[in-house]
Amino acid sequence: MNRSGAVLLAIVTSFLLQVIVAPHVAILGVVPAFPVLVVITLAIVEGPAAGAASGFAAGLVLDLLGTGPVGAWALVLVVVGYVAGMLQENLFAEGWLQPVSVAVVVSVSAEIAYLIVMAVLGSGAPFWRSVVAVVLPRGVYNVVLGILVYPWLARLLRTDQSVKSFRRIS
């Protein structure tokens, strides 16, 4: 499968999972954000430009599927994809710690950024209550799912199939 086909398959699958599966795997009313996981993984694998481009596409589709204002998720996921790619390039972590660290920072930041955008647009819920009730639990949920999904998704999205190894800096 070529790279663009793999990216398209990952994004479409994430939306199908978001619409069909996510409501049924909610924990205490908190649903995961599968498209965010795909954007983060693509940014880690391919870098900030690919992360931002996939973030825009995924965010626009999320906006069109949701009830919020069009463009809010697109804006947030463009920034999330770019930041995740930059963190991956500039983070001094090795092995499994690198994607987990990026997923923790970016997933929680994405939820907070969306909440801020919604507050600025005047259509959000009370800020601090939303942080405690939605943002932090969804961030944790996304991180746990990211740990489980990242290895398979990264293998699908990687353009070169060689395994990279890391050496410690002495």
Predicted TM-score (pTM) of the model is: 0.81
Q: Under CATH, what is the fold of the domain 3-156?
A: Arp2/3 complex 21 kDa subunit ARPC3 (1.10.1760)
* Banded pLDDT at 166 (limits 50, 70, 90): very low
The whole-angstrom distance between residue 135's C-alpha and the CA centroid of its chain comes to: 13
pLDDT at 9 over 90: no
CA–CA separation, 63 and 74 (whole Å): 7
From the list 12, 7, 5, 14, the residue with the least C-alpha distance to 145 is 14
pLDDT at 163 over 70: no
Q: Which helix (H) or strand (E) holds 78?
A: helix 72-90
CA–CA separation, 22 and 18 (whole Å): 5
Give me the pLDDT at residue 124, please: 67
For the segment 66-119, what is each residue's pLDDT rounded down to a tens digit? 878 889 999 999 999 999 888 877 766 666 677 777 887 888 888 888 888 888
Give me the pLDDT at residue 160, please: 61
